[in-house]
Copies of this chain bind each other. A is one copy, B any other.
Amino acid sequence: MKKIELAHAEQRRKTLPLMSKISAINGNAAQYPLPSWSDTAAKRAILDFVARVTNDAGPDFVPVGERIATFDNDGTLWCERPIQFQLFFALDRLAQIAEHLPQIRMQQPFKAFLEGDLKTLATFAKREAFEFVFATHAGMTPEEFSKAARKWLGAAKHPLFGRLFTECVYRPQIELLNYLRANGFKTFIVTGGGIEFVRCFAEKAYGIPPEQVVGSSNKTKVSMCDGEPVLFKLAELNSFDDREEKVNNIHLHIGRRPILAFGNSDGDLAMMRYAVTGKGKRLALVLHHDDAEREFAYDRDFRLSPLAEALDRASEYGFSVVSMKRDWKSVFDSGD
């Protein structure tokens, strides 16, 4: 072979793994979308919905700017068991605080956090647990918080799966987000979790930038330090983004009613009903965790974030139920 041909052969060898990734991306986005979704009713409902709202000759066409899709995060885009991951992050912070403030060791829910008592933690209501969690970072600047959260996310591991929490995102949902964006949708997270915490990983994990993350928040305050305005996090709750508050916050942050909403608990019920009761073609999906083998099986029994009404009345409300066991070929990005 000539020198140039040898060089090309070497180039091909080196780029082969990359080429197969390119092919996977193209394949996912266009000809064979949602490869990790089984060929069941849920997948067909998604494909049919997207085909209708993007067909500019059909009666269900929706202009690009109005193709708003909202996703819950905990239990919808990534795992939320044994407890929501942000609670683990707060646990680390509480341990540091307890060194200076030992009396919190005796008081619930701090006690349960500090003793790693996940069973007791799982009996709290979501708002109850999160309100304490958010306060553990009061007094920090957003920059300090972000640094601490990114450091934790880069090192802490899931207690059962033994891998990074950011590796506990659901592969079928990443495919769905990509597929929607490839079809002109703008994808938003609307989470009960802390808006700043989710913003620390949403761009890398889901391709969703900070300004498209809506979530719970504490108040902030601008103080003058050395003649410059500095933002500080306060202990006081600004908004707990759960149930009806998700609708208020969608209106406040996005200003348009979503045409697609995806959730997994009754905390997402109002958001899903708000989506489907708008005019025109709509789609709401509920993820049912019924897969004890690959992930977890739970619904109304998980007090931190129960799924009951949204499951019981799914057909009445016009929701498509997605069964993790039946509708997903794989669960996690890193293989199950």
B-binding residues in A (CB < 8 A): 65, 68, 142, 186, 188, 195-196, 199, 203, 209-213, 217, 219-222, 228-229, 231, 238, 244, 247-248, 251-256, 270, 273-274, 277
**Contact at B254–A210, with CB atoms within 8 Å?**
yes
Residues of B within 8 A of A251 (CB): 142, 220, 231
Least CB distance, A119 to chain B, in whole angstroms: 33
**Contact at A253–B255, with CB atoms within 8 Å?**
no
**Contact at B248–A222, with CB atoms within 8 Å?**
yes
**Contact at A65–B228, with CB atoms within 8 Å?**
no
**Contact at A252–B211, with CB atoms within 8 Å?**
no
Residues of B within 8 A of A256 (CB): 210-211
Apart from A210-B256, A219-B248: 4 A-B pairs, beta carbons within 8 A = A65-B203, A199-B255, A220-B252, A229-B274
- How far is it, in angstroms, between the C-alpha of A255 and the C-alpha of B195 when the chains are bound? 9
- How far is it, in angstroms, between the C-alpha of A217 and the C-alpha of B254 when the chains are bound? 13
Residues of B within 8 A of A228 (CB): 273, 277
What is the chain B residue whose CB lies nearest that of A244?
B222
- How far is it, in angstroms, between the C-alpha of A231 and the C-alpha of B251 when the chains are bound? 9
Residues of B within 8 A of A221 (CB): 244, 248
**Contact at B273–A247, with CB atoms within 8 Å?**
no
**Contact at B277–A211, with CB atoms within 8 Å?**
no
- How far is it, in angstroms, between the C-alpha of A217 and the C-alpha of B228 when the chains are bound? 27
Residues of B within 8 A of A248 (CB): 219-222, 231
What is the chain B residue whose CB lies nearest that of A255?
B210
Residues of B within 8 A of A209 (CB): 65
Residues of B within 8 A of A273 (CB): 228-229
Least CB distance, A332 to chain B, in whole angstroms: 26
- How far is it, in angstroms, between the C-alpha of A253 and the C-alpha of B273 when the chains are bound? 24
Least CB distance, A261 to chain B, in whole angstroms: 12
Residues of B within 8 A of A254 (CB): 210-211
Least CB distance, A218 to chain B, in whole angstroms: 10
Least CB distance, A258 to chain B, in whole angstroms: 11
Assess A277 versus B186: contact at CB under 8 Å? Given A210-B256, A252-B220: no
- How far is it, in angstroms, between the C-alpha of A270 and the C-alpha of B213 when the chains are bound? 24
What is the chain B residue whose CB lies nearest that of A271?
B229
Least CB distance, A15 to chain B, in whole angstroms: 23
> 13 A–B contact pairs at CB < 8 A?
A195-B252, A211-B211, A211-B212, A211-B253, A217-B252, A219-B248, A220-B252, A222-B247, A222-B270, A229-B244, A229-B247, A231-B248, A238-B252
